[in-house]
Structure 1
Amino acid sequence: MKTYKVNVIDSNIMEINGKANHPLWENAVVLKDFSSPWISEDFEDIEFRALYDGTHLFVAFKVNDSSLHMVSTDNSKKSVDNSDRVELFLRSDKHLNPYYCLEIDPLARVQDFMARPNKVFDYQWDWPKQDLNIKSNITSKSFTVELAISIDSLKRFNLIQKDGHIEAGIYRAKYNQKQDGQFEPTWITWIDPQTETPNFHTASSFGKLKLVNF
């Protein structure tokens, strides 16, 4: 299982603004190891970073993209489901019963839900608002998403293992317009799940976020 090291920083000095430009981000390992196993064409670069302190896990995505597709008719979870986005799935064990999904578009709108095996999704479930802060920033060439997730909520959902690692899936959905005018997603992932068709909702698509010195 692939492992990403989440470095520790001093408590209560990290603030997110959606730009991922706080000096403390220099302490994070930059993850660029993404692929789309089901397509042959190239896609634009994606960078993932994570840090943690005594109270929060901080996550940042930077995605090069000059042609964003966002469904903005409303702020419903379904609108996010049909938009360009980044995704972070977290599980308590390999059985995926349950696991928790955060799908965030460039406007910092979130589709959060609890899931169980065989794509049983509970869209009525929300990550507690007091435990999750999300901000984003869009430029002409890219967008950035930052998350601050409380350590307390990760513990409540049994997502931090005894040895200090979190099992996570890290993904991206990029919508491209086809000749018929319809938009179809390209599915991009950190871990190749070895599935015939795109599928992030499977145990084989998860890796480890190792909290250093936890």
Structure 2
Amino acid sequence: MGEDTADIYEVRAITDGTVKDGFWKSLPILTDFKQPWNSGFIQKTAFKACHDKDWLYLNYRVEDSSVHVQKISGHKLEVVHGDRVEIFFKTDALLKTYYCLEVDPDGRILDYTAAFYRKFDYEWSWPEGHLSAKAGRTDSGYWVELKVSLKSLQDLDILKNGAIGAGIYRGDCRNLGHFPVNESEFVWITWVDPMTEEPDFHVPSSFGRLKLLGL
């Protein structure tokens, strides 16, 4: 549907700069995730967000019956071979410039910038000191929390008039491959169905909008 229709998540403000566990429980929860290119059972994904005057806080809780992580070289691109949650931020409607964060169940971040269509710059990194992640396992899967400075979102021309064009996704790894011999197998999960024939998050139609209240 895209960000101009119903795909809006309202990001509530906190005042004391501390995101307490009880506060997370009080936030609106986004669970309407889809797997447009796979039939059958979908493992649950839940997303929440809030902000204060300096930071945007993102919270993922996912069900995963078998968590897969690749650790061989230590390079950030290893994240693409296993389970992960993702958020893309766009600066314009045509994706001339957008920024991607992919985080695995161990809290490792793959950050890169991109341009339509699928022109990726993996040498780019989010501004130092303006992004952090933590993650952990649960009995039913894993969780990821991200902290992104509002200043970096403004400097990168992402945060505009209190709103952010964002795509929220998940790569649900069903079989961990051994790259480059063979690829991992995924079920691709998305907040907004981009209505593409093949799995693809890197298109304008896969984005919704985060509306930061109180800015």
1:175 to 167, 173, 197: 173
**Cα root mean square deviation, aligned:** 1.5
The percent identity for this pair of structures is 39
The Cα of 1:80 is off from its aligned counterpart by 0.3
1:198 aligns with 2:199: yes
TM-score (norm 2): 0.91
Unaligned 5+ runs, structure 1: 15-20
Match of 2:179 in 1: none
Matching of residues 85-96 of structure 1 within 5 Å: 85-96=84-95
- Alpha-carbon separation, structure 2, partners of 1:62 and 1:139: 9
**Deviation (angstroms), 1:143:** 0.4
Q: Judge conservation of contact 1:36–1:186 (CA < 8 Å) in 2.
A: yes
TM-score by length of 1: 0.91
Cα deviation, 1:119-169, whole Å, max 9, x if unaligned, reads 00000000123000100011232100001100100000111122x110000
Amino acid in the other structure paired with 2:158: L
Gaps of 5+ in 2: 177-181
The residue type equivalent to 1:9 in the other structure is I
Within-5 A mapping of 1:153-164: 153-162=152-161, 164=162
Deviation at 1:10, TM superposition (A): 0.7
Runs of 4+ in 1 over 3 A off after TM superposition: none
1:1-80, aligned counterparts within 5 Å?
Answer: 1=3, 2-14=7-19, 22-80=21-79
Which residue in the other structure is 1:97 paired with? 96
How far apart are residue 76 of structure 1 and its match?
Answer: 1.1
**Distance in 1, Cα, partners of 2:41 & 2:71:** 27
Which amino acid is the alignment partner of residue 121 of structure 1? F
